[in-house]
Amino acid sequence: AQKITQTQPGMFVQEKEAVTLDCTYDTSDPSYGLFWYKQPSSGEMIFLIYQGSYDQQNATEGRYSLNFQKARKSANLVISASQLGDSAMYFCAMREAEAGNKLTFGGGTRVLVKP
Amino acid sequence: GAGVSQSPRYKVAKRGQDVALRCDPISGHVSLFWYQQALGQGPEFLTYFQNEAQLDKSGLPSDRFFAERPEGSVSTLKIQRTQQEDSAVYLCASSLHGGYYSGNTIYFGEGSWLTVV
Burial B31-67 (b: 16+ CB within 10 A, else e): bbbbbbbeeeebbebbbbbbeeebbbeebbeeeebeb
Indicate the SS3 state at residue B104.
coil
pLDDT at A2 over 80: no
Q: Which of A24-28, A70-74, A88-92, B1-5 has the lowest mean pLDDT?
A: B1-5
Set of chain A residues whose Cβ sits within 8 Å of the Cβ of B109: 44
> If pLDDT is split at 50, 70 and 90, which confidence band does A1 have?
low
Q: Which residues of A touch B (CB under 8 A)?
A: 4, 31-33, 35, 37, 42-47, 50, 52-53, 91, 93, 95, 97, 100-108
- pLDDT confidence of B61, banded at 50, 70, 90? very high
Q: Which percentage of chain A shows pLDDT scores above 70?
A: 99
Per residue in B91-111, pLDDT (tens digit) is: 999 998 877 666 778 899 999
Question: pLDDT for A36-60, tens place per residue?
Answer: 999 999 888 999 999 999 999 999 9
